Structure formats: structure tokens, C-alpha cells
Amino acid sequence: MIRPTSKRMALLFTLLLCSVSMYVYWSHLRRNWGGSPEPQARALRTDLFAQWYGARELLLHHRDPYSDDVTREVQIGYYGQQLDPSKAGDISHQQRFAYPLYVVFFLAPTVNLQYRTVEIIFLVLLAIVSALSIPLWGRSIELSLSASPWLLLMVICSTSIPYLQAFDLLQLALLVAAFLAAAAASAASGHLFLAGAFLALSTIKPQLSFLPIAWFLLWVVSGWRERRTLLGGFVVMMGALILSSEWLMPSWLLRFPAVLMAYEKHTKAPSLLGALLPGPLRWLAAIIVIVAAAPLCRRALSRPAGSFSFALALASSLTLSTLLVPAVFQPFNYVVLMPVLLLVIRYWSDLFLGSRLARFGAYSCCALALLPWPLAVAVALGQLLPSLAWLQKAWFAPLNASLGLPFAAFGFVMLLSMTENRRSL
């Protein structure tokens, strides 16, 4: 008979093996076998560079960060040369300052530094806020774990493809996820004004935060007398961000939609469903997932912020963001799916109390969510063992498999909603 201690050690070894393999895959194997879109040295190639350069030009030289001149300089700094407007491939990879202007306030302390130093500072900062966001999400669903499981969870998550890619690119999606986690934890603790303020801060990446903010505001309207403080916090913080950035550069807000549309036109960034399905099917799939998620939100409107129903509705809005919203196609945006993982951990036993079909669905979602890790182990073995060198040809498999995470998250949300229905019977 296998002792429980032996089982825990085997599980710990397996998790650490997967984490190390994923880290090796991302940091070494992916680049060696063509995973990087350009073979030459990356130089300044992080998503933070365009935003930092635009902030520096605005704050130090009073230049419009959205202007064509600044965009051209960003491209030269990012690619080492100006892109050719006559080449569709060049335009599709255009880099530019495309965030709301008030993102410069987050970058202001670094504009006098060399960008290499800024990279180090933001890597440390994003690592810290990412680690803190996990227990914040846990607080929002009242998940209680000891220090060791929290630490293990942080290690596993930080070596997943969404987090590795976000760290690699210095993506502000990590900061947005932390603000949303802080908003959810504040609301669950009864600090609604603070929750609204954090939601306003999350709009530095509006395409990622739009649907969860819409859910919060719908929840506020459904219980206006008790919850209106949240809207107050949101309005006050948004007002401060917009007015202060208008003082820096008047009328930027009127121009920003056109800048965002131009950026999306150049990058041609679809939604995940739009990238995987042809036109008619993508709209049908979008309608199906919206209709499936609608009852979750309806049931949660009358529930408090710390309830299971509220957490499930919020997780649903985050999952729909990764499936439906254009320009949220890249895996680094999937860091907002953390509350789904924590809900699965908390209600793990409930997922397997239903019918055989429900249990099959739970196992299928687990397999889809975990698939990138064994694939990364296989690719790593191909690097270490000459007899398995043929596995190196599958360098793309873990990255492509990570696109299944939003679908697994949506499946878990639906299965968890079934457990909620069983409780109410």
C-alpha cells in the first residue's frame, strides 16, 4: 500500500519536473527551433519598449507618443530599422504606443533610466505583483491554503506558458491581472470604493478588463443602494486618470479610439475564436458561449461579492475575454484565468460528484489544461537524449497547446455552475 507521504512526494516531483521542463523549453528550446518570429538578436524587443519610449518622449520632450514620428522611432528601436509601409508583413508587425495615455504615470519613474535598467526593474516588479495576485484571487473566493501550497502554486503558475511569455515580453497584462485580483479581493472584503479604484486602474489595457468591469458595474446596478460605492471609486479614479492625462496632452482621449483602431488594423489581431474558426462558425460559437454564460451572471446579481456565484460570474467574464475579445489572442493574456484555476482547486471534489458525463467533462478539461506540460517534458527529453532527438521537431506543440487553456477554463466554469445547481436543489 502506497503511503500518503509517498503520493505527495511523487506529485511534488512530477510538478517540479514539469515546471523545470517548461522553463527549459521556453528559455532555450523555443528560440533554438524557430519559436521567435525573427532569428536575429531581440535587442529591445519587449512589449514594454513602445510604451516606455512614448512615455519618455511625452514627459521629457513634450512629444505626442501617438504621432507618426514617435512610432517610426519606436520601430527603429525595436527592429533596428524602419518598417516598409509597402510590405504587408512589415505593417502587420508594427510596434507603437497604443495604450491609454495615463499608462505614462506607471512608467514615469523610469523615463530617465536606460531601457536595459528599466527591463530589470519591470521584470522584478511584474514578478512581485504576479506572485501577490494569486493569494488576492484566493482571498476573493475564500480559498484558505497554508504557505507551502501557495508557494508551490506560484512556482507552477510562473512556469506556465502564459506567465513565461508575459515575463519574456514584460507584458502589462500581468499588472492588469493584479489590479483585477485586488478589485475582487477588495469587493469580497467589503471595501467597495477601493475595488472600484482598482478596476479603473485595470483599464490601462481596456480590451482585457472591459468584460470584468462590465460585470462589476452590472452587479452594482442590480443592488444600487448597497453597492453604489464601488461605482464611486471607479468614477473618482477614472476621472483622476483622464483629467491628469488630459492636462499632459489635451484631446488625447478623442484621438485614442482612432489610434486603437489603427493598431488593430495593422496587427490584424483577432479573437481566439476568430483565429481558430471561419466567419459563420466563429459567430455561432460566440453566441453559444455568451448564452451559456448568461445564467451564471443572472444568478450572481443578487449574491454578495464573496460568494461562490459571484466568483463564478467574474471567472466567466474573464474567460469570455480570452475567447471573444479581439487582440486578446496571445497566451500572455491568459494570466487572467487564475481565478478559474483556484475555483477548481477549492471545489475539486464537487466536480466529480455528478454524473459520469460530468466527470468525463472534468477529466477532459484537466487534460486540455495540463497538455502543454507533458509536451514540454517530451521536447526537453528530445534535447537531452540523442535517441529521442526527433522530438525536437515538435518545438511548437506546447505553445500551440496553450491555446486550449481558455476552452478548458470555459469548460470548468460550466461544470462548476452545475455543482452550484446541485447545491440549490
**Are 366 and 379 within one domain?**
yes
Is the pLDDT assigned to residue 91 strictly greater than 70? no
Is the pLDDT assigned to residue 217 strictly greater than 90? yes
pLDDT band at 27 (very low <50, low <70, confident <90, very high): confident
Is the pLDDT assigned to residue 75 strictly greater than 50? yes
Residue 425's pLDDT is 45
Higher-confidence residue of 24 and 362: namely 362
pLDDT tens for each residue of 261-271: 766 666 666 78
Dig out the grid coordinates for 341 from the structure. Answer: 484555476
Answer yes or no: is 52 within a domain.
Answer: yes
Answer yes or no: is 26 within a domain.
Answer: no
pLDDT tens for each residue of 249-291: 998 988 888 777 766 666 666 788 888 888 788 889 889 999 9
Residue 115 CA to residue 224 CA, distance in Å, equals 46
Q: What are the φ/ψ torsions at residue 396 (nearest 5 degrees)?
A: -80, -15
pLDDT band at 388 (very low <50, low <70, confident <90, very high): low
**Are 184 and 251 within one domain?**
yes
Answer yes or no: is 19 within a domain.
Answer: no
Answer yes or no: is 191 within a domain.
Answer: yes
Is the pLDDT assigned to residue 424 strictly greater than 60? no
Residue 397's pLDDT is 84
Answer yes or no: is 7 within a domain.
Answer: no
Q: What are the φ/ψ torsions at residue 322 (nearest 5 degrees)?
A: -75, -20
- Measured on CA atoms in the order 383, 384, 387, 391, is the torsion positive or negative? negative
Contact 169, 154 (CB under 8 A): no
**Are 362 and 352 within one domain?**
yes
Higher-confidence residue of 15 and 70: namely 70
pLDDT band at 5 (very low <50, low <70, confident <90, very high): low
Last residue of a domain, one of 279, 311, 346: 346
Specify the pTM: 0.91
Of the chain, the percentage scoring pLDDT greater than 70 comes to 84
Residue 128's pLDDT is 94
Residue 378's pLDDT is 80
**Are 111 and 212 within one domain?**
yes
Q: How far apart are the first and last CA of the chain?
A: 39
* Residue 112 CB neighbour total at 10 angstroms: 11
pLDDT tens for each residue of 115-136: 999 999 999 999 999 999 999 9
Residue 337 CA to residue 173 CA, distance in Å, equals 12
Residue 224 CA to residue 183 CA, distance in Å, equals 18
Residue 138: domain span: 36-346
Counting the structural domains of the chain, the total is: 2
**Are 329 and 354 within one domain?**
no
**Are 322 and 358 within one domain?**
no
Is the pLDDT assigned to residue 384 strictly greater than 70? no
Is the pLDDT assigned to residue 33 strictly greater than 60? no
Answer yes or no: is 204 within a domain.
Answer: yes
Lowest-confidence range among 142-146, 147-151, 378-382?
A: 378-382
Last residue of a domain, one of 346, 378, 412: 346
Last residue of a domain, one of 316, 346, 376: 346
pLDDT band at 1 (very low <50, low <70, confident <90, very high): very low
Residue 39's pLDDT is 37
Question: Rounded mean pLDDT of the chain?
Answer: 85
Residue 42's pLDDT is 46
pLDDT tens for each residue of 302-352: 999 989 999 999 999 999 999 998 878 889 999 999 999 999 999 988 888
Lowest-confidence range among 97-111, 353-367, 369-383, 404-418?
A: 369-383
Higher-confidence residue of 148 and 338: namely 338
104 burial level (CB within 10 Å; 0-12, 13-18, 19+):
buried
Q: Look at the block and give the residue holding cell 516531483.
A: 13
